[in-house]
């Protein structure tokens, strides 16, 4: 059989970690013929809970799971990993300023960048899930100069999948028939969920839905605000769908997107579509041979251009704030 792949999950004692680890262990991410060794990292206050997760993973007897390393040591956690899913982070608590949360998180991503650079396998693929996801990924990239920038990405696939789900529900179509939506920009409420190039069973989404007011109004805000809506309903964050989407992101990146389809990924921007350069911006990408490429040549109308610019401006501003936090640290 194949040699096992070491997969790092940080923040593994948290909510998303609890939903993600079993999916990776059961083959949802790398496929039914690829054994894995899970490296689970969390911080000392969560160490006991992390050991509990390890016990449950052992008890699940996943045939593909060839080992579990549960640790609070970032050096041990990052050793020889080929996939790194960065879920660990500091949550925003009541009364905290945005800058305080930013400051906590960017310092985490700065130090974990160094550990990854030092210990991970060359060619490691990194997916940042923890918020602010785009900016955490950027800080990780800046502090791991020997990891190629194209190997560092952030999760906007959840937003992408949310957009697919909304269109599927609205048109009464199985979600597998909905393709090529796009999430542009930041994984925040400034993101632009774009259906202008998407299809439902081969027909343009705009025609299949036939309700422009909805597509330009409630559809967009529903996708943008979905995270908050789930927290309101569950009293907890959207851990199940985040974990599922993280698996989708890595699977498509490693195995490729089906021809003629694309997915959304937060990637280091080359300035395509007028996006700011040197930020991590979500684009439509096609994946092949373990790499991704931004889909080029899509028509951007005036409505879309304004949205792309607004979310890009927010990322530039976030980057400045992050750099300010690191300079003060």
Distance CA 300, CA 197 (A): 10
Nearest alpha-carbon partner for 80 in 133, 124, 47, 29: 124
Beta bridge partners of 175: none
Which residues 6+ apart lie within 8 Å of 72 measured at CB? 41, 42, 43, 44, 46, 47, 50
Which residues 6+ apart lie within 8 Å of 313 measured at CB? 276
- Minimal distance in Å, beta carbon 267 to ligand NAI? 14
Give the DSSP letter of residue 275: P
- Cis ω on the peptide bond leading into residue 132 (within 30° of 0)? yes
Interface residues toward ligand NAI, by CB under 6 A: 10-11, 13-17, 41-43, 46, 87-91, 108, 129-131, 133, 155, 158, 187, 237-239, 242
Strand pairing of 83-86 and 65-71?
Answer: unpaired
Which of 68, 200 has the CB closer to ligand NAI? Answer: 68
Calculate the dihedral angle through the C-alpha atoms of 161, 167, 172, 176, rounding to the nearest 10 degrees.
-40
Distance CA 158, CA 20 (A): 13
- Minimal distance in Å, beta carbon 41 to ligand NAI? 5
Distance CA 149, CA 269 (A): 10
- Chain CA centroid to CA 81, Å: 18
Which of 27, 88 has the CB closer to ligand NAI? Answer: 88
Distance CA 77, CA 92 (A): 25
Catalytic residue, from 39, 160, 187, 197: name it.
Answer: 187
Please identify the residue of the shown chain whose CB is closest to the bound ligand NAI.
14
Which of 81, 208 has the CB closer to ligand NAI? Answer: 81
* 36 in Cβ contact with 66 (< 8 Å): yes
Active site residue 187: yes
Which of 166, 238 has the CB closer to ligand NAI? Answer: 238
Which of 85, 200 has the CB closer to ligand NAI? Answer: 85
- Minimal distance in Å, beta carbon 210 to ligand NAI? 30
Which of 91, 217 has the CB closer to ligand NAI? Answer: 91
What is the DSSP secondary-structure string of 53-70?
HHHHHHHTT-TTEEEEEE
What amino acid positions are annotated as catalytic residues? Answer: 187
């Amino acid at each position: 059989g194949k040699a096992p792949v070491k997969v790092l999950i940080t923040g593994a004692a948290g909510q998303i970690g609890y939903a993600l680890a079993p999916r990776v262990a059961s083959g949802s991410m790398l496929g039914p013929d690829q054994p894995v060794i899970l490296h689970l990292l969390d911080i000392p206050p969560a160490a006991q809970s992390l050991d509990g997760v390890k016990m449950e993973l052992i008890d699940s007897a996943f045939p593909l799971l060839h080992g579990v390393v549960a640790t609070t040591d970032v050096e041990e956690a990052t050793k020889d990993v080929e996939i790194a899913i960065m879920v660990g982070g500091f949550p925003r608590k009541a009364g905290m300023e945005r800058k305080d949360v930013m400051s906590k998180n960017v310092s985490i991503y700065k130090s974990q960048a160094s550990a990854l650079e030092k210990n991970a396998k060359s060619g490691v693929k990194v997916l940042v899930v923890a918020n602010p996801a785009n900016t955490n990924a950027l800080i990780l990239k800046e502090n791991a100069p020997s990891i190629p920038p194209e190997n560092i990405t952030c999760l906007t696939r959840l937003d992408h999948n949310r957009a697919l789900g909304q269109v599927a529900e609205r048109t009464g179509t199985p979600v597998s028939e909905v393709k090529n939506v796009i999430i542009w920009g930041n994984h925040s409420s400034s993101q632009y969920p774009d259906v202008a190039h998407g299809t439902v069973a081969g027909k343009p989404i705009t025609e299949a839905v036939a309700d422009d007011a909805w597509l330009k109004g409630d559809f967009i805000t529903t996708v943008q605000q979905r995270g908050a809506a789930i927290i309101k309903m569950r009293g907890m964050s959207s851990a199940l769908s985040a974990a599922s989407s993280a698996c989708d992101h890595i699977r498509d990146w490693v195995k490729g997107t089906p021809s003629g389809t694309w997915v959304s990924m937060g990637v280091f921007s080359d300035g395509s579509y007028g996006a700011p350069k040197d930020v991590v911006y979500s684009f439509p990408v096609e994946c092949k041979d373990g790499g991704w490429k931004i889909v080029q040549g899509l028509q951007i109308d005036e409505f879309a251009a304004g949205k792309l610019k607004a979310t890009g401006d927010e990322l530039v501003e976030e980057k400045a704030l992050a750099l300010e936090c690191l300079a003060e640290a």
